[in-house]
A and B are shown apart, each in its own frame.
Chain A
């Protein structure tokens, strides 16, 4: 915290104002020649690291199938009730899979609890932060938009494992 100064505590130099003003001016002048940190956004995009919590997505295995076993834990834990899924049975080893999985992105608060609670590492937070829609219907993300190839999510999965 800055020390509070009263008018009577000011030295003569401070009282004349002009040296103090010159000092302030020199600071802004120095700033004018500093390189700005601005990113030219739509052309130049910010690429987050694995720590970043973007739009939640479902992991798609290398063979193109979803990793999710439709246990419903994420839907259960989701604070704003944004997740809705319907389970079905399959002949494969994992026995269950979601026939529909919807995340309402108008409701999602990007808390990452679904990711934390998932026993299969099947739902993770991606790096996608450009979530804009033109209608309410458009905001409900189904399986087609949620399934993301696992290669794109490697560093997030590693980050989640390291912090479990």
Chain B
């Protein structure tokens, strides 16, 4: 296969997937507002377009048209770089997540373009894909810390510092939860991890404790509500993005929701069987239909998790800072360790 064809295919996949993620992010904001309204017996956005469906575009238009202000006390290069970094991290970690099974191609005409098999991930050849995601999500904290430091504002700085402290406490339990999954799948490749969860052997049933610790850590990583201390509006004005306006603020906003999508996809990949639909091969459907159902199942699972993210945000109040730390170190970390031991025992018995 020619390298430029390879690049073209990757670029095409990138275009499609990036657009899916972007539109998804736009409508995620809409759903966030809608669900929060319903949870509070309100109606939510319903004026722009039918049932308010054009609201996200109106929001973006408003953000783009606003004046971009950089405070005099800010360190401009980093102040400008931080939102881009946040967006970059949020979108690039999606590159290795396979949204469907690998397809073996028999047709020679297609073989010329795609090679022997077609993968739904943008970069299918990265074997330790999980490590790649972990590495990237860890960079995400730099965006927040940098924006907090460079803004030249106390509130922003506090938000940035909180974010880094939070990330350190939760990255560990996250890492150990993933270690459990990797131990069971005996591979770091996302596709292999999904394939190891065939049938009902989803990791959520095999290692429920790991699921809980990972989901909690994912909430902390994405700075979603029970753990949104870096932006804590009542305490820190707006936290790290206090001094941002216009599309730079919009970037942080987008990055938060893109992060949410990535985290949901990651949870689906690691614990909910990825694109697997249990016992679908027994139905005797054609191969194309099976793949379509599996891809749809992946998106459905991600959507369900995104609903869960929003639902939790409007139900649970924010943790206090010391509570956050004590839960991270005294509860989540030991639980993740217990989970690891539990998985090791299972692996020993059944192998």
Contacts and interface: CB of A to CB of B under 8 A. Distances in A.
A22 to B, nearest CB: 10
B165 to A, nearest CB: 21
B315 interface: yes
Interface of A: 18, 21, 24-25, 27-29, 31-38, 40
B315 A28 contact: yes
A36 B312 contact: no
15 contacts: A18-B212, A21-B315, A24-B315, A24-B316, A25-B315, A27-B315, A28-B39, A28-B311, A31-B41, A32-B38, A32-B39, A36-B37, A36-B38, A36-B41, A38-B43
Contact of A36 (B42, B212, B315, B316): B42
A62 to B, nearest CB: 43
Nearest to B323: A7
A38 B38 CA distance: 11
Most buried by A among B41, B212, B312: B41
B331 to A, nearest CB: 8
Nearest to B216: A17
A37 B316 CA distance: 23
B41 A37 contact: yes
A25 B41 contact: no
10 closest cross-chain pairs (CB), A and B: A32-B38, A28-B315, A28-B39, A38-B43, A24-B315, A36-B41, A25-B315, A31-B39, A36-B43, A32-B39
Interface residues of B, number: 14
Given A24-B316, A25-B312, A28-B314, A38 B42 contact: yes
Contacts of B35: 32
B40 interface: yes
Contacts, number: 35
Contacts of B37: 36
Nearest to A16: B331
Contacts of B43: 36, 38, 40
Nearest to A34: B41
Nearest to A38: B43
Given A36-B37, A36-B41, A29 B311 contact: yes
Nearest to A31: B39
Contacts of A31: 38-41
Interface of B: 35, 37-43, 212, 311-312, 314-316
B49 to A, nearest CB: 16
B42 A25 contact: no
Nearest to B326: A7
Nearest to B308: A25
A28 B43 CA distance: 15
Contacts of B311: 25, 28-29
Contacts of A38: 42-43
A31 B39 CA distance: 5
A17 B316 CA distance: 11
Contacts of B212: 18
A143 B41 CA distance: 43
Name the residue among A24, A25, A32, A36 with the largest chain B CB count within 10 angstroms.
Answer: A32
B182 to A, nearest CB: 25
A144 to B, nearest CB: 34
Contacts of B39: 28, 31-32
A15 to B, nearest CB: 10
A25 B42 CA distance: 18
Contacts of B42: 36, 38
A153 B69 CA distance: 54
A104 B314 CA distance: 45
Contacts of B315: 21, 24-25, 27-28
A21 B41 contact: no
Contacts of B41: 31, 34-37
Contacts of B314: 28
**Most chain A CB neighbours (cut-off 10 Å) among B37, B38, B315, B316:** B315
B318 to A, nearest CB: 13
A37 B312 CA distance: 23
Contacts of A18: 212
A18 B312 CA distance: 12
A37 B314 CA distance: 19
Contacts of B316: 21, 24-25
A148 B43 CA distance: 36
Nearest to A22: B315
Given A31-B40, A40-B43, 14 more contacts: A21-B312, A21-B315, A21-B316, A24-B315, A24-B316, A25-B311, A28-B39, A28-B315, A31-B39, A31-B41, A32-B35, A36-B38, A36-B43, A38-B42
Contacts of A32: 35, 38-39
